[in-house]
């Protein structure tokens, strides 16, 4: 185990840690290797007071693997600086609100994301927390009967499905790039995922999951609602109240996350670097 030169303070939850005494923009290989092991162990790492530039955020994220897409603003501010109205016809607002449901990133794509580096640039006066939920602890807390029931079940994952379920039509006014809305058949993913690096089992569920083969529509929805409601409860959840300069790293293979509401006339600007999943372990065939 490489020498630890930073401090690790576990969060008050089944997962996660706050890391201090570290500069993410300037990590040597030994520090990175140590940090990687802590990340696999805790899944969510919170780094206060980093103030990463866009370039430094991308460079740090790339140490975990190729990125799924270039740095994306998660923001209600337009390029000209104006704040988007809280308007359910605005494509960006619809995605921001949709992401208030618990989810894993990119399960609706052929390759699920490995993780993400997320940074806070402009934060609202209240609200706007991001929550994470520990799907490893959730799986382990299920009854043996439920573990057996879901052992061989899978679900389809689709952004069309999850946005429509919240009453949002896709691509209405053209202000959102449309990433994630694709016309291939939706991937079919097992409900129980084995982590490719730790070997631990976790639930793979969330708002994009639906249509379990072998169950009718109602049975499928009831089971997924039950699993989601059970999984996202203390001590398996943590909500972070952002300060400007915070950076966060999460493992998308075993955590879900959600945005939370804020007064949307106030600007909120975050940057998201999404680390691509390994095709050998995160690919799911369309079905």
Which parts of this chain interact with Fe ion (CB under 5 A)? 105
CB of 138 to Fe ion, least distance (A): 18
CB of 21 to Fe ion, least distance (A): 29
Are 44 and 255 in contact, with CB atoms under 8 Å apart?
A: yes
CB of 113 to Fe ion, least distance (A): 9
CB of 33 to Fe ion, least distance (A): 27
Closer of 14 and 130 to Fe ion (Cβ): 130
CB of 110 to Fe ion, least distance (A): 17
CB of 51 to Fe ion, least distance (A): 23
Are 224 and 205 in contact, with CB atoms under 8 Å apart?
A: yes
Are 271 and 54 in contact, with CB atoms under 8 Å apart?
A: yes
Closer of 50 and 252 to Fe ion (Cβ): 252
CB of 26 to Fe ion, least distance (A): 28
Q: Label the pairing between strands 115-122 and 247-251.
A: antiparallel
Closer of 105 and 246 to Fe ion (Cβ): 105
List the end-to-end C-alpha distance of the chain, in Å, as a whole number: 42
Q: Which residue is nearest to Fe ion (CB)?
A: 105
Closer of 22 and 203 to Fe ion (Cβ): 203
Closer of 90 and 105 to Fe ion (Cβ): 105
Are 116 and 272 in contact, with CB atoms under 8 Å apart?
A: yes
Closer of 82 and 177 to Fe ion (Cβ): 177
Closer of 27 and 193 to Fe ion (Cβ): 193
């Amino acid at each position: 185990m490489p020498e630890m030169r930073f401090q690790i303070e576990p969060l008050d939850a089944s997962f996660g840690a706050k890391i201090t005494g570290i500069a993410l923009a300037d990590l040597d290989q030994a520090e990175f290797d140590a940090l990687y092991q802590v990340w696999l162990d805790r899944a969510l790492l919170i780094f206060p007071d980093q103030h990463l530039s866009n370039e430094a955020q991308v460079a740090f994220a790339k140490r975990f693997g190729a990125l799924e897409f270039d740095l994306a603003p998660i923001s209600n501010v337009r390029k000209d600086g104006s704040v988007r109205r809280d308007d359910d016809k605005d494509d960006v607002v619809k995605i921001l609100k949709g992401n208030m449901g618990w989810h894993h990133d990119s399960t609706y794509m052929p390759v699920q994301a490995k993780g993400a580096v997320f940074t806070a640039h402009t934060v609202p006066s209240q609200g706007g927390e991001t929550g994470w939920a520990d799907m490893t602890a959730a799986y382990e807390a299920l009854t043996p009967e439920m573990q057996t029931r879901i052992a061989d079940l899978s679900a389809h994952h689709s952004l069309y499905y999850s946005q429509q379920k919240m009453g949002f039509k896709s691509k209405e006014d053209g202000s959102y790039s449309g990433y994630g809305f694709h016309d291939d058949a939706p991937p079919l993913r097992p409900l129980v995922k084995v982590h490719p690096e730790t070997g631990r089992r976790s639930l793979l569920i969330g708002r994009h999951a639906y249509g379990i083969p072998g169950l009718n529509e109602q049975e499928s929805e009831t089971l997924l609602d039950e699993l989601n409601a059970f999984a996202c409860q203390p001590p398996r959840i943590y909500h972070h109240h952002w300060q400007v300069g915070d950076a966060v790293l999460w493992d998308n293979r075993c955590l879900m996350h959600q945005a939370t509401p804020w007064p949307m006339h106030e600007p909120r600007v975050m940057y998201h670097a999404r680390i691509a999943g390994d095709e050998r372990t995160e690919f799911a065939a369309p079905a």
